[in-house]
Amino acid sequence: MITIVDYKAGNLTSVKRALDHLGIENQISKDPSVVRSADQIIFPGVGAAGAAMEALKERNLDLALKETFQKGTPILGICIGCQIILTHSEEDDTACLDLISGKTVRFQLSDPTLKVPHMGWNAVRVTQPHPILSHLRPGDEFYFVHSYYLQPDGATEVYAVSDYGGEFPVVIGMDNLFAVQFHAEKSGPLGLQLLKNFSEWRP
Amino acid sequence: MLSKRIISCLDVRDGKLAKSVKFINTKDIGNPVVQAKKYYDDGLDELVFYDITASSDKRDIMIDVVSSVAEQVFIPFSVGGGLRTVEDCSRVLLAGAEKVNVNSAAVRRPTLISEASRAFGAQAVVLSMDVLRVEPDPKIASGYEVVINGGRTRIGLDAIEWARRGEELGAGELVVNSIDADGTKEGYELTLTRMIAEAVSIPVIASGGGGKPEHLYDVLTEGKADAALVASMLHYGEYTVGEIKSYLAGRGLKIRTVN
């Protein structure tokens, strides 16, 4: 059973619909005790880092997530849920969960034809094999919407990159934690397969 | 680099497709959910549903359509038509749409854009504008005027000015629909699209006039559009999503291909 963490962050129902479609048992919960005892966790989100961290703290979900990470529960972060696992976000100058050390920074692109947010379909290049990415082939694209990008301190935590005025990390992970910048739940069959791979992942 | 997006627009009236679609099973004719699923399976990048239901008491049907689409189609889609308040927008987003599409209501009350943008984020707000080519005058310096009520009402608003204003108010994308090109199948309005794309820094989706894959190529290159909206080309079975995409990829555009 996958528990989808509800912290008022928007795309919960899209993730739920995708899991339902795949026949994967799931529930949405905002209760920290449910999150603590979850078999697997999806931590989704859209919106701003500051508001997301506030909502997590308000519900004591920040501590619950840190605990589940430490005890080895498989966790999948999506979009803002991927950004706020790092130490700090430049967006609203926000102190984040610090599960992986690093920060998120705003795109500063020298090419004026490249717009921010980075919104649309872009190719994802795997830089380090991982069971959750095992179905990807070169050139495969996913759907992105974001203005800030991931900058983990260590290169070993990066599993895939995309190119937008230069390469930047889009998938990061460590131990039982895996996180994608793109919206897997809106990225067609490849995104659905990624969710399925996560459900079968036993780190 | 981002791929150029191919987006299809489905007009829905009372929960059914407003235009007949040639190539689907007889029993499914007019079902927007079935059609959306087919385009999704064919590799379309995004969908727009436009609710043209005349009476407001039938608007709940659209919410059911949106939910059913969201259960089966796992690409982004937006919903427009009859959205006048943040509450209207909230309903379609909760039903599963990624984005709302506002048009005449935003011209009449521009703060709708800023309210929706604050509530849901700029990425969720698409400003759609219907544009008519006119003789340039001091008020309409660009020679392109925004019209409302499905193109019936002129209000003396310059399209370039409105596009810039929309961005300032918090729209995340613009759909630029040329009334002159719409339905002609002779190509998109390249001048208008390029003028707007150069005036704003948010993505521009070209609409109206697409009849052949080369028309999409022209508007995505010369017209500087980030995405192209297609309707009858697909709906009448003249081309498939795959055919359009292979053509564009063959001419060197970055296009998302689905195997």
Q: List pLDDT tens digits, range B168-223.
A: 999 999 999 999 998 889 999 999 999 999 999 999 999 999 999 999 999 999 99
Q: Is residue B227 part of a domain?
A: yes
- Quick check: B73 pLDDT over 90? yes
Contact A119 B123 (CB under 8 A): yes
- What is the distance in angstroms between the Cα of B43 and the nearest Cα belonging to chain A? 8
Share of chain A above pLDDT 70, in %: 99
- What is the distance in angstroms between the Cα of A4 and the nearest Cα belonging to chain B? 16
* CATH number for the domain that contains residue B176: 3.20.20.70
Active-site residue, selected from the candidate residues B45, B51, B130, B182: B130
Give the tokens for residue B204.
Answer: 């521009």
Q: pLDDT digit string (tens) for B149-172?
A: 877 889 999 999 999 999 999 999
Q: Compare all CA atoms of chain A with the CA of B198 and give the residue at the minimum distance.
A: A113
Q: What's the pLDDT band for A10 if we cut at 50, 70, 90?
A: low
Q: Compare all CA atoms of chain A with the CA of B66 and give the residue at the minimum distance.
A: A14
pLDDT at res. B183: 85
- Quick check: B84 pLDDT over 50? yes
Contact B1 A164 (CB under 8 A): yes
Identity at A88, one-letter amino acid code? H
pLDDT at res. B26: 43
Domain housing B71: 5-250
- Quick check: B53 pLDDT over 80? no
| Facing A115 at nearest CB: one of B40, B45, B201 | B201
- Mean pLDDT in residue range A83-109: 95
pLDDT at res. A185: 95
- Give me the residues of A, 106-125, that contact B with CB < 8 A: 115, 117-123
- Quick check: B20 pLDDT over 60? no
Contact B15, B65 (CB under 8 A): yes
Contact B76 A143 (CB under 8 A): yes
Q: What is the mean pLDDT of chain A?
A: 94
Interface of B with A (CB under 8 A): 1-3, 5, 40, 43, 45, 70-72, 74-76, 94, 96, 98, 120-123, 172-173, 201-203, 226-227, 256-258
Contact A143, A119 (CB under 8 A): no
What is the pTM for the complete model shown?
0.94
Please tell me what DSSP assigns to residue B2.
Answer: B
- Quick check: A85 pLDDT over 70? yes
Contact A55, A12 (CB under 8 A): no
Active-site residue, selected from the candidate residues A79, A88, A96, A157: A79
Domain housing A177: 2-200
Q: Is residue B133 part of a domain?
A: yes
Number of domain units in chain A: 1
Q: What's the pLDDT band for B119 if we cut at 50, 70, 90?
A: confident
In terms of Cβ atoms closer than 10 Å to its own Cβ (0-12, 13-18, 19+), residue A36 is: middle
Q: pLDDT digit string (tens) for A137-156?
A: 999 999 999 999 999 999 99
**Neighbouring-strand partners of residue B207:** B177
Contact B123 A189 (CB under 8 A): no
Q: Is residue B86 part of a domain?
A: yes
- Mean pLDDT in residue range B129-151: 92
Indicate left, alpha or beta for A10 from its phi (over 0: left) and psi (-120 to 50: alpha).
Answer: left
Is A146 an annotated catalytic residue? Answer: no
Q: pLDDT digit string (tens) for A17-36?
A: 999 999 999 999 999 999 99
pLDDT at res. A115: 87
Please tell me what DSSP assigns to residue A91.
Answer: G
Q: Compare all CA atoms of chain B with the CA of A147 and give the residue at the minimum distance.
A: B123
Contact B256 A141 (CB under 8 A): yes
- Mean pLDDT in residue range A185-201: 97
- Mean pLDDT in residue range B119-133: 93
Report the range of poorest mean pLDDT among B7-11, B53-57, B121-125.
B53-57
Number of domain units in chain B: 1
pLDDT at res. B232: 86
CA distances to B78, B136, B225 from B196, rounded to whole Å, are 21, 16, 9
pLDDT at res. B25: 46
Identity at A115, one-letter amino acid code? K
Give the tokens for residue A152.
Answer: 């983990």
Cα separation of B244 and B234, whole Å?
9
Is B11 an annotated catalytic residue? Answer: yes
> Is-cis flag, bond preceding B32, omega within 30?
no
pLDDT at res. B160: 97
Cβ contacts below 8 Å, chain A against chain B, sum to: 74
A56 SS3 class: helix
**Neighbouring-strand partners of residue A148:** A106
Cα separation of B206 and B209, whole Å?
9
Contact A122 B173 (CB under 8 A): no
Cα separation of B28 and B145, whole Å?
39
Contact A121, B4 (CB under 8 A): no
pLDDT at res. B54: 66
- Quick check: A167 pLDDT over 90? yes
- Quick check: B240 pLDDT over 60? yes
Contact B96 A14 (CB under 8 A): yes
Share of chain B above pLDDT 70, in %: 94
- What is the distance in angstroms between the Cα of A98 and the nearest Cα belonging to chain B? 25
Least Cα distance to A164 among B248, B3, B252, B44 occurs for B3
Task: Compute the C-alpha angle A29/A33/A36, nearest 5°.
Answer: 90
- Quick check: B56 pLDDT over 90? no
Which ipTM was obtained for this model? 0.93
* CATH number for the domain that contains residue A137: 3.40.50.880
